[in-house]
Structure 1
Amino acid sequence: MAISSLVIPRAFVRFAPLLLLCLMTAGCASGPMVKLRQQPYNPLAERLKLTSRGGPKASSRTRQLLRRHDLPENVGLKIRPQLNAVADLHSQTPSRESTFALAELSYIAAKKTEMTRPQAAMELYFNSVAYSYSYLFDERFGSDHNRYDPRFRNACDLYNSSLESCLRIARKRGQLKPGHELEFTVAGRHFKVAIDPRSNNWRSEDFDSFEFVSDYDLKGLNNLYRTYGLGVPLIAVRKTGAAPQEIEQYYAPGLSFPVTAFLRLEPDSSGRGDVTTLRLELYDPLEATTVEIAGRQVPLESDISTPLAYFLDRPDFRYLDTFGLLRPDKAERIAGLYMVQPYQPGKIPVVMIHGLWSSPMTWIEAMNDLQSVPEIRENYQFWFYLYPTGQPFSQAAVRLRNDLDQVDAVFMARDGGSALRNKVLVGHSMGGLLAKLMTLESGDEFWNGVSQTPLANVNASPNANQQLQQIYYFEQNRTVGRVVTIAAPFRGSNFANNLTRWLAKQWITLPRRTLGVTKQILVRNPKLERDLENVAGMTSIDSLSPDSPFLQVMQDIPPPAEVPQHNIIGAIRDLPLDENTDGIVEYDSSHRSDVASEIVVNAAHSNIQRHPRTVLEIRRILLEHLADYNRGSATGIVPLSGRRPRFDRGNSPAFDVKSSPLKQRPQRGWTSATGHTAVGR
């Protein structure tokens, strides 16, 4: 029965929005990504009893030093006498033990003073930073430091917590900005501390403000990636408009990224450990994980997950998926490529393309996991493609093709080009169709799939003719070096049935420009009405139907041999693979016989892109692509793409289907070199 002949009861129409929400499960609802803590996280809180009754309280080792020198153990309101006494002791016979005690007592004294005398507290915090630094690196104490001593890590915590407290006070004064200077007055000496960004990825003028990672509790990501060392993890909020407009368009407003603040103390040449130079260095933990101090590499404290979640913790981001589905006419203005870090020359772009009723938010879990891998974050940069998913996927592919051309034009001259010419496209669901389309040479195939009239014989205005050319004629994008498709409906989905297609037409508002072009062509070419009746007013749901002419033609166009393609399929039922499904896309629709690798993951359609097995497979593929790229660079021949696809599962993280709960049947049309299908769960 044709959709136009359906008779829909009024009650049914009234509940159509609810039915649409129930039937279309590809969308995702998300809660807050981060939560503001009542108190900042402080590793010293429990150890020094900072918030306990009767606290703060010095550690047992510091109290022991006080006892040995006949000093009161209880650091009550009058802590200055003990602090001064230990300082006198230290000036006579400096030792690591007294240095640590001074760092700890200075920190406790600062905590007691901060509410009423912030300037005095800042000086005490700085003293704690200086003594902690001396405990860790002062050459007077020799190089035979016992790093197994708990005080070693405690000294790191004292350095980090004291520096963070200094920076909090500086932020209240408006001094925590690149280009400004922090000011300390300690023991009558006045210090001006320059803020020095140490990154190839951003400049001083890129920063608008800083937040402290310790203020936030991560909620929206499963995994928290942090490293332990020295420094204060910060969230740097980028200043909107800091880049030229041609580059600014790729950065979302409020973009934030991780930073680690490290205060370098350089002693004078007297040998007494007196500090002469201070410099606050800002490091990008995605670029640098260590810092050189006293001739050795010291790890930086960092958190690369919380800044990402902080940036995404915006209500408008949570509704991008529904907005892009129901109002593609409005969503067009925000469509395009987006970067989550300033552009990094020499790094290979990974373009992540979301699916139907989705947004770039769907990739955050995978990106968080992938950027934790040193080889990946050092060699790749992640871009996200946002597009209106209410339009047919072919029209979204036109926009992606144009946007890839534009980003190449902007950055190719800045980069030398080799990394940009080896992009990896990763597409989920409908996004997988877009990714595959970027590699195809269609010729007349798409147009012939909808009309027997040659396009040259169609009476259309130059503008309409150009749009037809863009939609129906695809050329291979030569800067795409590899493609990964995930749960993509290559042969359509039974989810796109008469009911869902009718509902989509009621609630999806297509751009007037698209409808106007089709109407103009039909007015000028009445004989084309029969040919174009299936594509006129087509929504994305229509384009994903098994009878979609675009999908049928795509099956007949072979991908280029020089661009390796990899496929990941979801399966959730205890059935043979050829009868299985991920809940939206059947196995037979998602399966491909023309790929370099293919695995099946025990995951539903809306979750497969963030499933650990999927992320591990993407990781494997990216490392393989990097190895191919480096081999080409080493020989002086940088490949435009990659290698001829090969059927190999040797390094796949998935396992043999025989060990899977999914029942095995002989596979149709595809086998690996090892003769089995890999399945992850």
Structure 2
Amino acid sequence: MRTLARGRHFFLIVWLPLLAACGPPVGVVRVSPSVVHQELTANVLSAGVPSAASRNVLGQYNLEEEFQARPAQALAALHDLYVQGGGGLDEAFTLAELSFLHAQNSGRRLFYLAAALYAYAYLFPDAAEREPGRFDRRLRVAADLYNRGLTEGLKSADGTVVELRSGVYDLPFGQLEVTFEERQRLWAGRRLEHFVPVADLQVHGLQNRYRISGIGAPLAADQVPVREQAGFQVGARLKVPATALLRVGDPRRQLARGRVYAVLELHVALDDSHVQINGRQVPLETETSAFLAYTLHESPVWKREIRGFLRGGLKEEFPFQLAGLEPYREGRFPVVLVHGTASSVGRWAEMVNELFNDERIRRRFQFWFFGYDSGNPVVYSAMQLRDALTATIAQVDPEHHDAALEQMVIIGHSQGGLLAKMTVVDSGDRLWNAFSRKPLEEMDIPEDRKALLERVAFFEPLPFVRRVVFIATPHRGSFAASGWLARTVAGLVSLPGTVIDTVGDLLTREAEALTLDADKFKTGSIFGMTPGNPVLDALAETPIDSRVEAHSIIAVKGLGPVDVGDDGIVTYKSAHLEGVASELIVRSGHSTQSHPATIEEVRRILLQHAAEWCAEAVVCEEVPSSRPTAAPTSATVADSDSRTPVRGQRPVLAAGPEGRRSGLARE
């Protein structure tokens, strides 16, 4: 007994302290909140691992080790539990997430499709089941699993496009029979083809990437005309943003049956923003910035910049000078963007990305782009702009029913601003008198030459233009145009035959009537924008029509005095116009159309335009009051939720002298 007592005493002395040193089997450890947040929010899409919610379900059914060793068998077991009524939303989400993970690891497409179906069952359960809570963090993940699963499940063998067609697809537990109506491919007189999954594309060259979070696989489609088209139309190489949606009725019941019937829908994002599912309005997932960047990535507009400057007859290769970002929309104000010298419509990308993604603007305005051969004489290109706009209005609204078309806005950058001004002034005989001492009708030149000169030099304001915005516009010329390099390059420009023939007749038959020295006479846009050019000076002094509101956005480099500043191409004094409704000074270089302060000013002007005319003459669509949010393209977006754009230093607008406002954003 004494030995036993000593043994117990030894145990208490030796072992109890050791046992006490061991922590409790359940407890907590204090860590950074960010660590806990990462554990709670990590999922297969953001971190490549199952979420905490899915791990919980695996643990409840003792399937953790099975999934690690034999994922297909574990998924089959969980599927049987779910379809037999032994589970609900938790199991549906887990099946969606783990099927997607297994598809990634195995490369088997059928598990991507299964993931999409399970996610759909979670998002839109049968009527008898409860729906996910609005604040359930799994809700957005499930939508992304559906979108990504559908995209991957319908990809072509090489993975470059999504194939939209009717057909039967294998599933881990049966088959999926898809119905797709081919007529859905027809849009605005064109057939949509070659659907590229834009979620796979990384965007560069745009400051912000905008997306509309919702349901469906976001795509960018090529468009092929069904028949020959003439006049105003959607840009020929424009990619069309679209969303594919696989609609499944009674998903849980069909999953239990083993053969799932579904309808594949194609929605053009420019037309449809929402769909009805189970009586609810559900937004469609749309990648608005990606489709724009993809359009420009494969566009020939960049090649046209220099070629269009040097070859004045390039219009023959690009016959459609005026094109839209989307088909003509009745009830929306046209915004016509006119680029500058040796430039193209592609240079508006940053501004369009910001404005088109602002629902307040997108639903009340339509963006049109005017492309021209910028080496041609400025007055000749302005004539083409007037002709294109007049023809388009007659084409799309011959009966003049659309009041919004009568309130057009034209925005011109650099030389484009000069073209814009020549749509809102009455030239009278000012321009002609600055060019010639003899009346046109007395000129000894062929009648067809006189007709061209009359169209170029004599014009009235276009009645449907109500607002113009001049951006870095050289109203009194560009000092860069008088430099030796610019004039040397300008000498390489080949002009259209009609211009060459007309100028030739003037120089050979009426040289003495010209105000310019015939021996030094030069034509082309660079010579036309040289300071002191009499025609340009006459245009600068020609008043803008009183019906039209005009705005100036003037770039000035550095932080020195504005009045003696310039943007590297145009001085402030050349860009300044008296009598405009507003003038904004932006501290930037000449290509200020992409500057945040410039874009914000254009946004302000357009919203002001809509506020004025929607209340007076046009029945406008209701729009939200808030501005858009976006994710900066330099950052990796872990989920589909939009985030506030990071712009660096935000433009600070302050009242300046003579009613000017200065944008103090950094260049």
Residue aligning to 1:20: none
Shift of 1:528: 2.4
Equivalent position of 1:161 in the other structure: 148
Q: Which residue of 2 aligns with 1:107?
A: 100
Alpha-carbon offset, residue 614 of structure 1:
0.6
Q: Which runs of 4+ in 1 moved over 6 A?
A: 170-175, 196-199, 268-276
User: Which residue is equivalent to 2:623?
Assistant: none
What aligned pairs does 1:195-234 form with structure 2 within 5 A after superposition? Answer: 195=181, 202=187, 205-234=190-219
- 5 Å-filtered alignment, 1:67-82, equals 67-76=59-68, 78-82=70-74
1:569 to 554, 558, 567: 554
* Secondary structure of the corresponding residue to residue 104 of structure 1: helix
* 2:356 matches 1:353: no
Map of 2:277 onto structure 1: 293
**Mean Cα deviation higher: 466-475 or 573-582:** 573-582
Partner of 1:126: helix, strand, or coil?
Answer: helix
Partner of 2:538: 553
Give 1:539 shift. Answer: 2.0
**Mapping of residues 175-214 of structure 1, within 5 Å:** 176-177=163-164, 180-184=165-169, 188=174, 191-195=177-181, 202=187, 205-214=190-199
Contact 1:329 1:511 in 2 (8 A): yes
* Cα deviation code 1:587-633 (max 9, x no counterpart): 11111112111111111112x11110110111111111112221123
Q: 1:94 to 1:441 in 2, by over 3 A?
A: same
1:146-545 superposed matches below 5 A: 146-169=133-156, 176-177=163-164, 180-184=165-169, 188=174, 191-195=177-181, 202=187, 205-239=190-224, 241-247=225-231, 250-267=233-250, 278-314=262-298, 316-331=300-315, 333-334=317-318, 336-413=321-398, 416-497=401-482, 499-500=484-485, 502-525=487-510, 527-528=512-513, 533=518, 536-545=521-530
Any idea what the Cα deviations from partners look like across 1:61-116, whole Å, max 9, x if unmatched? 3333233223343424632322222122221323111222222333344445545x
For structure 1, which segment, 292-301 or 168-177, has the greater mean C-alpha deviation from structure 2 after superposition? 168-177
Verify the 8 A CA contact 2:189 2:226 in the aligned structure 1.
no
Distance 1:414 1:268 in 2: 50
Are 1:197 and 1:203, in contact at CA under 8 Å, matched by a contact in 2? no
Task: Work out whether 1:616 is the aligned partner of 2:612.
Answer: no
Deviation at 1:211, TM superposition (A): 0.5
Distance 2:252 2:63 in 1: 33
* 1:318 alignment partner AA: W
Query: 2:497 is aligned with what amino acid?
Result: R
Contact kept in structure 1, 2:66 and 2:74, CA below 8 Å: no
Contact map agreement 2:161 2:194 (CA 8 A) in 1: no
Structure 2 Cα separation of the partners of residues 170 and 263 of structure 1: 20
TM-score of the aligned structures, taking structure 1 as reference length: 0.79
Aligned residue in 2 for 1:4: none
Give how far 1:175 is off.
8.4
Out of 589, 601, 609, the position equivalent to 2:574 is 589
Show the counterpart of 2:90: 97
State yes or no: 1:632 paired with 2:616: yes
Q: CA deviation at 1:581?
A: 1.1
Change (3 A) 1:147 1:498: closer
Q: What amino acid does structure 1 have at the position aligned with 2:426?
A: E
2:179 is paired with a residue whose SS is strand
SS in 2 for 1:345: coil
How many angstroms does 1:366 deviate by?
0.5
Residue aligning to 2:44: 48
TM superposition shift of 1:405: 1.6
After superposition, the Cα gap between the structure-2 partners of 1:143 and 1:532, relative to the gap in structure 1 and judged at 3 Å, is: farther
Please say if residues 421 and 480 of structure 1, whose CA atoms lie closer than 8 Å, have aligned partners that are also in contact.
yes
How far 1:273 moved relative to its partner? 8.3
In structure 2, the CA distance between the partners of 1:382 and 1:415, relative to structure 1 (3 Å rule), is farther
The answer on whether the counterparts of 2:122 and 2:132 sit within 8 Å (CA) in structure 1 is no
Q: What are the ranges of 5 or more consecutive residues in structure 1 without an aligned counterpart?
A: 1-44, 116-120, 637-652, 659-666
1:655 matched to 2:653? The reply is: yes
2:441 & 2:297 partners in 1: Cα distance? 50
C-alpha deviation, 1:634, in angstroms: 5.9
Q: What fraction of aligned residue pairs are identical, expressed as a percent?
A: 31
Deviations 1:380-424 (A, max 9, x none): 121111111112211110111111122222212498332222221
Matched, 1:66 2:58: yes
Alpha-carbon offset, residue 511 of structure 1: 2.5
Structure 2 counterpart of 1:259, which letter? A
Q: Is the contact between residue 228 and residue 300 of structure 1 (CA under 8 Å) also seen in structure 2?
A: yes
Change (3 A) 1:145 1:196: farther
Q: Classify the secondary structure of the residue corresponding to 1:632.
A: coil
Tell me, in whole angstroms, the C-alpha distance in 2 between the residues paired with 1:370 and 1:196.
33
Aligned to 2:609, what secondary structure does the other structure show? helix
Cα displacement string for residues 496-554 of structure 1 (whole angstroms, at most 9, x for unaligned residues)? 22624641443222223212112223433353256573894312111112211122111
Equivalent residue runs for 1:1-80 within 5 Å:
47-48=43-44, 58-76=50-68, 78-80=70-72
- Report deviation, 1:250: 3.8
Deviations 1:221-254 (A, max 9, x none): 1110112222111111111x3354215x644443
1:104–1:197 CA distance, 2 compared to 1 (3 A): farther
CA drift at 1:369: 0.7
Query: In the superposition, relative to structure 1, how do residues 231 and 317 fare at CA in structure 2: closer, same or farther (>3 Å)?
Result: same
Measure, in 2, the Cα distance between the counterparts of 1:487 and 1:519.
33
The 1:592/1:77 distance shift into structure 2, 3 A limit, reads same
Residues 57 and 399 of structure 1, relative CA distance in 2, 3 Å threshold? closer
Residue identity opposite 2:163 in structure 1: L
d(CA) in 1 for partners of 2:560, 2:55: 67
- Partners of 1:367 and 1:534 lie apart in 2 by 45
Distance 1:635 1:206, change over 3 A: closer
How big is each residue's C-alpha offset from its partner over 1:162-200, in whole Å with a ceiling of 9 and x where there is no partner? 1112221489799824xx42433555566232257889x
Q: Distance in 2 between matches of 1:498 and 1:571?
A: 20
Counterpart AA for 1:314: E
Kindly tell me: are residues 188 and 143 of structure 1, through their superposed partners in 2, closer, same or farther at Cα, counting changes over 3 Å?
closer
Q: 1:202 to 1:414 in 2, by over 3 A?
A: farther
Determine the C-alpha separation between the residues in 2 that align with 1:433 and 1:654. Answer: 28
In structure 2, C-alpha distance between the alignment counterparts of 1:163 and 1:114, rounded to whole Å: 14
Q: Which moved more, 1:221-230 or 1:427-436?
A: 221-230
Inter-CA distance 197–436: structure 2 relative to 1 (3 Å threshold): farther
Q: Does the 8 A contact of 2:341 with 2:374 survive in 1?
A: yes
TM-score w.r.t. length of structure 2: 0.81
CA contact (8 A) 2:160 2:196 kept: no
Counterpart Cα distance in 2 of 1:173 and 1:529:
61
Q: Provide structure 2 residue ranges, at least 5 long, that are not aligned to the other structure.
A: 1-40, 621-650
Q: The residue matched to 1:575 in structure 2 has which SS?
A: coil
Q: Give 3-state SS (helix, strand or coil) of 2:480's partner.
A: coil
Larger radius of gyration: 2
Deviations 1:109-156 (A, max 9, x none): 4445545xxxxx33x333322221111221456546323333222222
